[in-house]
Structure 1
Amino acid sequence: MNLFDRVPDELFSVLASPNRVLYADALDVLYDAYRESLKIPEDTFYSMLRSKLEQQLADATFEGEDIDEEELRDISGRARFLIRKLYSKGWFEKERGEDFDEYITVPSYSSTLLEVFHQLRDNSPVRGYSYVFGTYSALKVAADSENIYDKMAAIYSAYDNTQALINVLQMVYHNIKHFFQLQIKMQEVNEVLTSHFDDFGQNVVEAYIRPLKIKDSVPKYRIPIQTILTSWIQDEKLLIELSNAALQDRRGSTLEECRQDLMGKVFWVKDRYDSIQHDYLDEIDRQVRRYTRATTQKLENLTNRDYSVRGNLNYLLSALGRNRHAAELVEQIQPAFQLYEQSFLSEKSLWYRKRPVKRVKTTSVLIEDTGLDAEAEIQAAELIRTEYNRSAVAACVEEWLGDRGICYSKDIGLLNDKSYIMSMLAVLTGRDSDAGYLVEELEGNFTENEYTIPQLRIVRKEKSK
Structure 2
Amino acid sequence: MKFFEAVPDELFSPLASPNRALYADALDVLYTAYREKLKLPEDMLYSMLRSRLEQQLAEATFEGEDIDEDELRDISGRARFLIRKLGSKGWFEKERGTDFREYITVPGCSSRLLELFHALREDTPARGYSYVFGTYSTLKVAHESDSVYDKMAAVYGAYDNTRALINLLQMVYHNVKHYFQMQIDMHNVGEVLASHFDDFGQKVMEAYIRPLKIKDSVPKYRVPIQNVLTDWAENDDLLIAMANAALADRRGDTPENCRADLLRKIYWIQECYDNLERDYLDEIDAQVRRYTRAATQKIENLTNRDQNIRGNLHTVLTALSRNRRAADLVDTIQPVFRLCEQTYLSESSLWYRKRPGKRTKAAPVLVQETEADTAAAAKAAALLRSEYGRGAIAAYVQGWLGESDVCRSEDIPLKNDKDYVMSLLAVLTGGDRSADFTVQELDGERRENGYAIPELQISRKENNE
- TM-score, reference length from structure 1: 0.73
Q: Report if aligned partners of 2:131, 2:164 keep a CA contact under 8 Å in 1.
A: yes
Number of the residue aligned with 2:359: 360
SS for the counterpart of 2:98 is coil
Alpha-carbon spacing, 1:58–1:128, altered in 2? closer, same or farther (3 Å): same
User: Aligned partners of 1:352 and 1:43: how far apart in 2?
Assistant: 89
User: Aligned partners of 2:149 and 2:168: how far apart in 1?
Assistant: 28
Matches within 5 A, 1:316-355: 316-322=316-322, 333=333, 336=336, 339-341=338-340, 343=342, 345=344, 350=349, 354=353
SS for the counterpart of 1:129 is coil
Number of the residue aligned with 2:261: 261
Q: Report if aligned partners of 1:330, 1:341 keep a CA contact under 8 Å in 2.
A: no
Number of the residue aligned with 2:245: 245
Number of the residue aligned with 1:100: 100
The AA in structure 1 aligned to 2:262 is L
User: Aligned partners of 1:25 and 1:357: how far apart in 2?
Assistant: 76
User: Aligned partners of 1:101 and 1:352: how far apart in 2?
Assistant: 96
Number of the residue aligned with 2:28: 28
**1:60 correspondence with 2:52:** no
Number of the residue aligned with 2:373: none
Alpha-carbon spacing, 1:92–1:347, altered in 2? closer, same or farther (3 Å): farther
User: Aligned partners of 1:168 and 1:242: how far apart in 2?
Assistant: 29
Per-residue displacement from partner, 1:153-182 (whole Å, max 9, x unpaired)? 000000000000010111111111211222
The AA in structure 1 aligned to 2:136 is Y
- TM-score, reference length from structure 2: 0.73
Matches within 5 A, 1:406-445: none
Q: Report if aligned partners of 2:304, 2:314 keep a CA contact under 8 Å in 1.
A: no
Number of the residue aligned with 1:113: 113
The AA in structure 2 aligned to 1:234 is E
The AA in structure 2 aligned to 1:252 is G
SS for the counterpart of 2:8 is coil
Number of the residue aligned with 1:224: 224
Offset, 1:188: 1.7
Matches within 5 A, 1:102-181: 102-181=102-181
Comparing 186-195 and 353-362, the one that deviates more:
353-362
Matches within 5 A, 1:182-197: 182-197=182-197
SS for the counterpart of 2:103 is strand
SS for the counterpart of 2:12 is helix
The AA in structure 2 aligned to 1:76 is S
User: Aligned partners of 2:187 and 2:351: how far apart in 1?
Assistant: 40
Number of the residue aligned with 2:285: 285
Number of the residue aligned with 1:214: 214
SS for the counterpart of 1:11 is coil
Offset, 1:201: 1.4
Offset, 1:332: 5.1
Number of the residue aligned with 1:74: 74
The AA in structure 1 aligned to 2:201 is G
Number of the residue aligned with 1:199: 199
In the alignment, structure 2 segments of 5+ residues that lack a partner are: 366-465
For this pair of structures, how many residues does the alignment match?
364
User: Aligned partners of 2:81 and 2:361: how far apart in 1?
Assistant: 97
User: Aligned partners of 1:219 and 1:76: how far apart in 2?
Assistant: 59
Alpha-carbon spacing, 1:266–1:313, altered in 2? closer, same or farther (3 Å): same
Offset, 1:133: 0.4
SS for the counterpart of 1:125 is coil
In the alignment, structure 1 segments of 5+ residues that lack a partner are: 366-465
SS for the counterpart of 1:104 is strand
User: Aligned partners of 2:71 and 2:239: how far apart in 1?
Assistant: 65
Alpha-carbon spacing, 1:72–1:242, altered in 2? closer, same or farther (3 Å): same
Per-residue displacement from partner, 1:88-111 (whole Å, max 9, x unpaired)? 111111111111111111111001
Offset, 1:350: 3.9
User: Aligned partners of 1:110 and 1:309: how far apart in 2?
Assistant: 57
Per-residue displacement from partner, 1:43-90 (whole Å, max 9, x unpaired)? 111111122212211222222222222222222121111111111111
Higher-Rg member (1/2):
2
Comparing 176-185 and 78-87, the one that deviates more:
176-185
Offset, 1:273: 0.7
The AA in structure 1 aligned to 2:159 is Y
| Cα RMSD after superposing both structures | 2.3
